[in-house]
Chains A and B, each alone.
Chain A
Amino acid sequence: MELTNKKLNLSTGPHVRSPLTTRKVMADVLIALMPATINGIIHFGFHAFCVVMVSVLTAMLVEGAFCWAAKKPCTVGDLSAAVTGLMLALCLPAGVPLYIPFLGSLFAILVVKCLFGGLGKNIMNPALAGRCFLLISFASAMTNYSIDGITAATPLARYSAGKSIDLMRVFLGFDNGVIGCSIAALLLGGLYLLIRGGITWEIPVCMTGSYAVAVYIFSGRALSLEEFLFQICSGGVLMGALFMATDPVTSPVTSAGHIAYGLLVGTLCALFRVKGSLPDSVSYAIIMSNLLVPFIDLALVKKPYAYREPRNKKQMSDLIPRAAVILAVITLCSGFILGGLNELTKDTIASIKLAANAEAYRAVMPDAETFGSNEAMDAAIAALDGGTYGTDFGRATINEAIVGKDASGNVVGTIISATSGDGMEGNITLAVGISADGTVLGISFTELNETPGLGSLCGESPFKDQFNGVQTTRFSLDNSATKIDSVAGATISSRAVVNAINAALDFYAANAQ
């Protein structure tokens, strides 16, 4: 009969497989990231779309090319490269030049993924490794959050500068930040993944929970509900908790492992944010924890049910995995050690700074022999508490007021150190020497990182010399009696310098007896 002529397939069971494939798992992640991507493109415009496309296409092309060159079967179809590319793009500021996503994707796929053996073999999350690579290599472009050429600070940066934040705008993704910054969209995607089984609750919950607790411990400040929400919603914590830390390849495989890993990531993240000075804490926290995953996996091997003690005999302490406790203790200890070191060395660092500044102070007041303080001005500076000074000077702060005296003890004038946060490449700090009648004796820069050849010219003659010997309370770049000619091509830097000087003059006028 015809049945026997046909050769039957032989194999062991199971002879039925779930419809889920690697490609579907990856497609689920892509779908989950779609709300954040779409929000980013709508909010930041066409350039954001270009960043996303360059990142995704580079990732896929590089993987394809590597497979071809290494004579391996092409693995682009499993969509894991597309996921890496999209995740990287969502972690980039919208305004980055297009070579940034290209290089980031190239590094992520080629170095972190393919060279380690491809899918499932990488020891770090490729997208985050790509982001960290970019943060180190292109620090200024990676921390320049600007829309349509106008520089603007992220909510976290503004928060650190003491400004209040509209949480709802952050939540909806209308505020400034990376392309995938909409908290609502990220939560929506995370919920989708949770329902689809792509992620489990352990890592997101433990990471955000331990993060909030650790921020409190390290900073010593009690968290209000609003601050708690802000801490969770800012700086990529949710992006990390829902999509980055949960990357299956670089996270532990068991539930207990997930809990320990989530606690570790959250604690490290808080440590880096409170005590660290890096522009990113989440990425570094996750990448460092990635490296500890093999240890967590082996330390927390799941016992088969038949080998477990019955639940009712268990002590409460047995329910928390031991390795989780050890890891938490290690991170907490290192946090306190770092915090303590900071406290111990604070005065030394301050005196070293003072020595460096002293040179600048002498430059603006060559007649002064000794420098002292002015109680009224010190009190006024303390009252500002590092906050923005005035309303007309952009993000300007007053750092220090020093009274200069000549050899015979007569007051020569006052030196005010002021900082403007509106520089093209970060802060500009300068010292202004002011005589008793309010005449500018000279200015000197103690912090100037502006674009070489453009903004950096602010620190040189002739720009710098325009202020000398002028008696005014207000300089201006526009037409007026005390007009300053800005450095060509560096309007932003010039304006920041003028703002800092105006703030210093204003402060002097308000506080000089």
Chain B
Amino acid sequence: MKTTFRGGVHPDDCKKYSRDIPFETYRPKGEVVIMLSQHIGKPAKPVVAKGAAVQVGQLIGEADGFVSANIYSSCSGTVKAVEPRRSVNGKMVQSVVIDNDGLFTLAEGVGAKRDWKSMSKEAILDAVKWAGIVGLGGAGFPTNVKLMPKNPDQIEYIIANGAECEPYITCDDQLMRNYADEIVAGMEIILSMFPKAKGVIAIEKNKPEAIAAMQKACAGKSNLQVLPLKTKYPQGGERSIITVVAGKHLRMGMLPADVGCIVDNVATIRAIYRAVAFTEPLYERALTVTGDIVASPKNLFVPIGTCFEELLEAAGGIKEGKTITKALYGGPMMGGAFADLNCPTLKNNNALTILGVDPVEVAQKQMTACLKCGRCNRTCPLGLTPQMMAVAAHNKDYEAYEKTFNGLECVSCGSCTYACPAKRPLMQIFAQTKAEIMAAKRQAGGGK
């Protein structure tokens, strides 16, 4: 098997701040705000009302439709309100606001051990659906839907994505080091549903401890393999990792299952194990609080719905004499910027990254005309030509952008933008152009 894909970039991984810091469990002190839309698909329907008493692991939002997910309380206390609150991306989202009593009493039945080996495929799928598990790596796609491909017999590879190619973030690294057995058990659960498939645990080589731990846990299991990957961004991107493992390239609109793959983040796989073997719904996740100006960066188990501002305080705030210029949910390559840290964590937030200097601000000052140097073309992991796409976008030649240059394929990984010496805002141009083309298609009645 290969160890990498074509293209990509080598940003400083910045994992030194938190890579060796063991997990702590953080207990929120103030109110906990649990959003009803933490996944791709329809928001969940609230099943509690103001004044209701809730406990940890109690269902408070019910999946509404096929692509949706259950939402659970992550603390015990009283429901203060069901109202729209500001989400990380600035949108107002219907949320259940819980007045946290600080006791974290578990709801009845949560944590009950089950023997998954005797469970049927349907029972496992039900357990995953019940637990409200979504992709914890960032996308937030409901996992039970992923585990029900149309072509179960053609699935060749179950890929555990432990690449963690985003700079700064280390929570998956720590999970693999400390919970290797649980991740392997999670893989075995999935493999039990796809007996013909092979399990591949793909980890970038900058995490040797995690690779060693996973190899130890996989020892003696013939259908499981640890695949060390070259350290390169976007190695952990779904398309990149499928290219490496299966040697196939996805096109826009294709699902991994179409090329015989199912890809799940290692945190998601551990959540599947916890849900199936311990009847534990998804109410807590691993999250890294990091950044060059954070006083003591941390890897934390965080109840979903905890305010980000509290998490920064838990990491000791920022260093004396420093000021925050930018705060990100996720890593610096694909993460989003906060307008305000006073918003709750979601299921798919894997990091809070605090930056003292905003590279985008610096880059804007260094921006020059395009040199046509071709670095963007060389780094695009999909084989696109960002330089020519940018020209087409600038000329508003949407037909050339879509047909000649396949510009809609862009997955916004940002490699071209990172590599550009002229500091052109390529990814932003492409995101906007894509949005405009899709809007035009919707208006014309076609498209998705």
Contacts and interface: CB of A to CB of B under 8 A. Distances in A.
Given A4-B341, A254-B374, A22 B360 contact: no
Given A120-B370, A305-B243, A8 B377 contact: no
Nearest to A14: B414
A397 B250 CA distance: 70
A306 interface: yes
Nearest to A249: B372
A21 B368 CA distance: 9
B20 interface: no
A303 B369 CA distance: 25
A322 to B, nearest CB: 16
Contacts of A165: none
A1 interface: yes
A420 to B, nearest CB: 49
A307 B409 CA distance: 11
B328 to A, nearest CB: 6
Interface stretch (B63-71, B212-220, B224-232, B380-388): B380-388
Contact of A301 (B317, B335, B405, B420): B405
A302 B385 contact: yes
Contacts of A17: 359-360, 362-363, 417-418, 420, 423
Given A14-B333, A21-B423, A304-B406, A6 B323 contact: yes
Nearest to B233: A14
A462 B88 CA distance: 97
Interface string B418-433: 1111110001100100
Given A3-B309, A20-B419, A120-B369, A305 B6 contact: yes
Contact of B427 (A6, A13, A255): A13
A119 interface: yes
A21 B421 contact: yes
A121 interface: yes
A18 B421 contact: yes
Interface in A118-168: 118-121
Interface string A369-390: 0000000000000000000000
Contacts of B436: none
Interface in A378-407: none
A107 to B, nearest CB: 21
B409 A304 contact: yes
B336 to A, nearest CB: 7
Contact of A15 (B335, B342, B422): B335
Given A8-B324, A20-B421, A119-B368, A302 B384 contact: yes
Given A120-B369, A301-B405, A253 B387 contact: yes
Interface string A240-255: 0000000011010111
B29 interface: no
B251 interface: yes
Contacts of B6: 305
B340 A8 contact: yes
B39 to A, nearest CB: 21
Contact of B11 (A16, A75, A200, A251): A16
Nearest to A248: B373
A78 interface: yes
A24 B421 CA distance: 8
A97 interface: no
A15 B372 contact: no
Contacts of B377: 253-255, 302
Contacts of B375: 20, 197
A303 to B, nearest CB: 7
B371 A16 contact: no
A10 interface: yes
B339 A10 contact: yes
Contacts of B334: 13-14
A304 B382 contact: yes
A8 B327 contact: yes
B160 interface: no
A12 interface: yes
Nearest to A28: B421
A20 B326 CA distance: 22
B105 interface: no
Interface in B323-351: 323-328, 332-342
Interface string A13-49: 1111110111111000000000000000000000000
Contacts of B374: 200, 248, 253-254
A297 interface: yes
A11 B428 CA distance: 9
Interface string A75-94: 10010000000000000000
A253 B11 contact: no
Nearest to A10: B337
Given A12-B427, A13-B336, A248-B371, A306 B421 contact: no
A480 interface: no
A513 interface: no
A22 B404 contact: no
A304 B383 contact: yes
A16 B366 contact: no
Identify whether the interface residues of B are mostly helix, strand, loop, or mixed. loop
B24 interface: no
A13 B414 contact: yes
Contacts of A18: 9, 11, 418-421
Given A14-B333, A253-B377, A304 B360 contact: no
A9 interface: yes
A37 to B, nearest CB: 22
B337 A9 contact: yes
Contacts of A24: 421
A85 to B, nearest CB: 17
B220 to A, nearest CB: 35
A16 B372 contact: no
In this complex, the member of B317, B353, B355, B371 whose beta carbon has the largest number of chain A beta carbons within 10 angstroms is B371
Contacts of A4: 309, 340-342
In this complex, the member of A1, A249, A251, A306 whose beta carbon has the largest number of chain B beta carbons within 10 angstroms is A306
Contact of B337 (A8, A248, A305): A8
Contacts of B420: 17-18
B361 interface: yes
B282 interface: no
Contacts of A304: 249, 251, 382-384, 406, 409
Contact of B369 (A13, A118, A302): A118
A313 to B, nearest CB: 14
A9 B358 contact: yes
Nearest to B416: A14
Interface string B228-261: 0000000000000001000001110000000000
Contacts of B163: none
B167 interface: yes
Given A305-B382, A306-B409, A15 B360 contact: yes
Interface in B70-84: none
Nearest to A117: B369
Interface of A: 1, 3-4, 6, 8-18, 20-25, 75, 78, 117-121, 197-198, 200, 248-249, 251, 253-255, 297, 301-308
19 contacts: A4-B340, A6-B324, A11-B428, A12-B428, A14-B333, A14-B334, A15-B358, A15-B359, A16-B167, A17-B360, A18-B9, A22-B366, A22-B368, A248-B373, A254-B374, A254-B385, A301-B404, A307-B251, A307-B406
Q: Top 9 closest A-B pairs, CB basis?
A: A14-B414, A306-B249, A120-B369, A305-B383, A15-B332, A16-B332, A248-B373, A22-B368, A20-B421
Interface of B: 6, 9, 11-12, 167, 243, 249-251, 309, 312, 317, 323-328, 332-342, 353, 355, 358-363, 366, 368-375, 377-378, 382-385, 387-388, 404-406, 409, 412, 414, 417-423, 427-428, 431
Given A248-B371, A253-B374, 20 more contacts: A1-B309, A3-B309, A3-B312, A4-B341, A6-B323, A8-B324, A8-B327, A12-B427, A12-B431, A15-B335, A17-B362, A22-B368, A22-B371, A22-B422, A22-B423, A24-B421, A25-B373, A254-B377, A301-B405, A305-B383
